[in-house]
Homo-oligomer: A and B are copies of this chain.
Amino acid sequence: MNVQVLGGLTSNFGELWDTSPRSLVRETCYQLFKNTSLPKSKIDAVLVANMLSSSLGNQDHLGAFFAEELGLNVPAVKVEAACASGGMAVHLAVLSILSGQYKNVLVVGVEKMTDYKPELVNKALMGAGSEGEREAGATFSSLYALMATKYMAEYKTKEEELAQVAVKNHYHASLSSHAQFKNQITIDAVLKSPMIATPLKILDCSPISDGAAALILSSDNKNSKVSIVASQSGSDSLSLSQRENLTSLKAAVISSRNAYKQAGITPEDIDVAEVHDCFTIAEIIAMEDLGFFKKGEAAKNIFAKKTWLGFGRPVVNTSGGLKAAGHPVGATGVKQVVEIFHQLNQTAGKKQVRNARIGLTHNVGGSGGTCVIHILKRN
């Protein structure tokens, strides 16, 4: 599979009161064009990942909207798969390059969430769930709390073990220049933070964020050190009530299995991974769905720092993950690939994983209705 990553960049993530989706995308992409030395006239298509601009901002048609902003008269389209919109945009960009029709594709994910009242954002986010979940008054915190409760009962997991995921991701974010939360936190701080949906406290949850992330993918490997070697996706029921199992996401299991096969590798080959830790329990489940740890063993391994920078392999969420880097929905899946690109390109700065050669991204929509997996390799 000849799909090269020519470059990747994220804006700062956070509460960006002084900016708009337009300027987030413009500034991120122009900086990227500069970094990659690719004249923008070489871009053949633009894929935009976004979830909430339609319901919150009344702005659809974001493909042409941002293509115009960037001065690109090329095919442009918006892709939406809830919180996996970014991963899906990368997936379709990969396929469009493999088709031979496009050579250089810009993928840009963006979300501006803090301009809207929390109740509006909550309502809009529940667009990723099923009608029944919305009618029952569920939120994503409560849905992941159900998964956490089941998981903890099944595998005797302690709240401290969940908390450690957040502690790790804040530690990693403290090494990043783009993260929303660069403060380190303690297990005690997580345990004492306000309860959102038992057993998840506010410090078990990813935040509401603004941000953009952009990538240029290409079939031209002249100047690239990093390739995408697998791009896979899967879907599952939107509603938790329809799942066979609450402690595993079927879409993640299937798509990661297919991705390992496509790349010709095993989970043991992964040096670094960005996974979808919208809640701490989600990262624990991801570790097992991806085959990094046996069922029921992820929490204690994370607690023992097996996935921390400088301690073990794979190192997970060096960006700070959704938890601490922030979760601007449409940008998240793109940012994951940007982070792995920089890890394999050896340009990850203070959070660099030594000799990282193979990396994986795991991007989830809703409570697991969609999962997109990418595997990247240093050339």
Residues of A within 8 A of B (CB): 46, 51, 54-55, 58-65, 67-68, 72-82, 88, 91-92, 94-102, 123-124, 126-131, 134, 231-238, 242, 250-251, 254-255, 365-366, 369-370
* Given A92-B92, A99-B99, A75:B233 Cβ within 8 A: yes
15 chain-A/chain-B pairs, Cβ below 8 angstroms: A54-B80, A58-B123, A58-B127, A60-B127, A61-B81, A61-B127, A61-B128, A61-B238, A63-B81, A64-B369, A75-B91, A75-B234, A76-B233, A79-B80, A94-B99
Q: How far is the CA of A81 from the CA of B79 in the complex (A)?
A: 9
Q: Which 9 A-B pairs have the closest CB atoms?
A: A64-B369, A60-B127, A98-B99, A75-B233, A61-B82, A95-B99, A54-B54, A64-B235, A61-B128
User: Could you say which of B54, B88, B126, B242 contacts A55, with CB atoms under 8 Å apart?
Assistant: B54
In angstroms, how far is the closest chain B Cβ from the Cβ of A214? 17
| Beta-carbon nearest neighbor of A22 in chain B | B131
| Beta-carbon nearest neighbor of A372 in chain B | B75
Which B residues are in CB contact (< 8 Å) with A72? Answer: 235
Which B residues are in CB contact (< 8 Å) with A61? Answer: 80-82, 127-129, 238, 365-366, 369-370
| Beta-carbon nearest neighbor of A126 in chain B | B58
| Beta-carbon nearest neighbor of A60 in chain B | B127
* Given A75-B234, A99-B96, A134-B58, A365:B64 Cβ within 8 A: yes
| Beta-carbon nearest neighbor of A97 in chain B | B99
| Beta-carbon nearest neighbor of A232 in chain B | B75
Which B residues are in CB contact (< 8 Å) with A81? Answer: 61, 63-64, 76-78
